[in-house]
A = this chain, B = another copy of it.
Amino acid sequence: MSLFTGLSAFPLTPLADYEIHEAAFVGLIQRLSTAGVDSITVLGSTGSYAYLTAHERDRIAHLAVEHAGTTPVFVGIGALRTSQILTNIDSAQRAGVAGLLLAPMTYQPLTEHDVLELFDTVTQHTDSPIIVYDNPGTTHFTFSTELYARIAALPGIASLRIPGVPAEPAKAREHVTAIRAIIPDHVTIGVSGDAFAANGLTAGCDAWYSVIGGTLPDLALAITRAIQQHRNDDALQEAQRLTPLWNLFTGFGGSLRVTAAIAEYLGLVPYQSLPLPIQGLSHSQRARVAEVVDALELSR
C-alpha cells in the first residue's frame, strides 16, 4: 500500500511577532499524530511554505519529524527558483522526511516546458518520492492532462495532488478516471479543496490532502475512514453537514485564513498567526467562524 493514500493532514505554521511559534507548531504535530492521520504534510500552502526562509523551513521539517512519532511526514519544497528548491530538498532529506511536495510557484508565468524541466531536474536530484502539487489558485499555473502524464512518468513521482473534482458524482468519477488512465499505476491521486474531498474520494481518489485535517483531524478522519469502509453515504452526509464550514472558506477569502481563525479560536495557535501581509479575519468574520465552530461542534 502506498504511503500516499488516506488522509494527509496539512498543519499551519503558526507565527507570533514575525517568528515561528515552535511550541504551537509542535502541539499541532502531536495532535495529528495522536489522532492517527495517515500522514502529515508540513509546509504546504496551509503551512505558509512560500513565506518562510530556508532556515525556517529546515527547522520546521526537523521539528515535524521529531514530534510525529510513527506518522510519516511529507514536506513542501517549493520555491520560485530551482536552486532554492534543491536546497530545500537537501534539508528535508537530512530531517528524515518520507516524501516531498512540489508546486510550480510562479512570479513570471511559467510554460509547460519550464515545469516539465523543473520536475525532471528535481527527480534527478533526489530519490525521495514526490507529490506533484497542482494548486492553480496560488501558483497561477495550469497543468494540462498531457503534462500530468509526462511528469507522472518521471522516476520518483509518487502522487498527484489535484485541485478538486466536479460536484456532480458521475462527472467527478469521469474526471478522476481520465487522469488515472494516463498516469502510471503506482502514482496515487489525491484530492484537495476540502469541500470536494468526500466527492473526490468516492470518485476514486486515493488520498485527501487536507487543509482542515491539519487543524481538525478527527473531522477529516471520520470522512476518510467512512469511505475506506465503503460507507460512502455516511461520508457524503458528513461533508454535507459541514456546508457552513465550506461556505466560510469561499466567503472569507480562502481556507487558510478561515482555518487559522479556527485554530486561533480553539487556542491551538496564537492570535494573528499568519505571516503578514496576510491579515487575519476581521472581528465580525471571527465571530461568524466561532458560531460555525460551535454550531457544528467542530471542537469535539
Q: Which residues of B contact A108 (CB under 8 A)?
A: 45, 50, 138, 254, 256-257, 278
Residue A83 contacts which of B18, B83, B107, B118 (CB distance < 8 angstroms)? B18
Question: Which of A109-117, A150-158, A239-247 is the contact stretch?
Answer: A109-117
> Do A275 and B50 have beta carbons less than 8 Å apart?
no
> Do B82 and A277 have beta carbons less than 8 Å apart?
yes
Is A276 interfacial (CB 8 A cutoff)?
yes
Within 8 A of B (CB), among A21-72: 45, 50-53
A113 to B252, CA, bound (A): 13
Residue A277 contacts which of B110, B138, B254, B276 (CB distance < 8 angstroms)? B110
A276 to B104, CA, bound (A): 12
Is A267 interfacial (CB 8 A cutoff)?
no
Residue A276 contacts which of B52, B118, B137, B278 (CB distance < 8 angstroms)? B118
Total copies of this chain within the assembly: 2
Within 8 A of B (CB), among A163-210: none
Within 8 A of B (CB), among A111-161: 111, 113-115, 117-118, 121, 137-138, 140
A205 to B45, CA, bound (A): 39
Answer whether A114 and B81 are a contact pair too, CB < 8 Å, given A51-B107, A109-B137, A109-B253. no
Q: Which residues of B contact A80 (CB under 8 A)?
A: 50-51, 275
Answer whether A277 and B107 are a contact pair too, CB < 8 Å, given A51-B80, A83-B18, A140-B140. no
Write the A234-264 contact mask toward B (1 if CB under 8 angstroms, else 0): 0000000000000000000110110000000
Is A279 interfacial (CB 8 A cutoff)?
yes
Q: Which residues of B contact A115 (CB under 8 A)?
A: 277
> Do A50 and B107 have beta carbons less than 8 Å apart?
yes
A276 to B50, CA, bound (A): 17
Q: Which residues of B contact A117 (CB under 8 A)?
A: 276-277, 279
Closest CB of chain B to A162's CB: distance in Å? 19
Closest CB of chain B to A121's CB: distance in Å? 7
Is A105 interfacial (CB 8 A cutoff)?
yes
For A111, give the chain B residue with the smallest CB separation: B253
Q: Which interface residue of A52, A82, A84, A107 has the most chain B CB atoms within 10 A? A: A107
> Do A279 and B113 have beta carbons less than 8 Å apart?
yes
Write the A250-292 contact mask toward B (1 if CB under 8 angstroms, else 0): 0001101100000000000000000111110000000000000
Tell me the A residues contacting B by CB distance below 8 Å.
18, 45, 50-53, 80-84, 104-105, 107-111, 113-115, 117-118, 121, 137-138, 140, 253-254, 256-257, 275-279
Q: List 5 A-B contacts (CB under 8 A).
A: A45-B107, A50-B80, A50-B107, A80-B275, A108-B257
User: Considering the complex of A and B, which 8 residue pairs feature the smallest CB-CB distances, nearest first?
Assistant: A50-B107, A82-B276, A118-B277, A51-B81, A18-B83, A114-B277, A82-B277, A81-B275
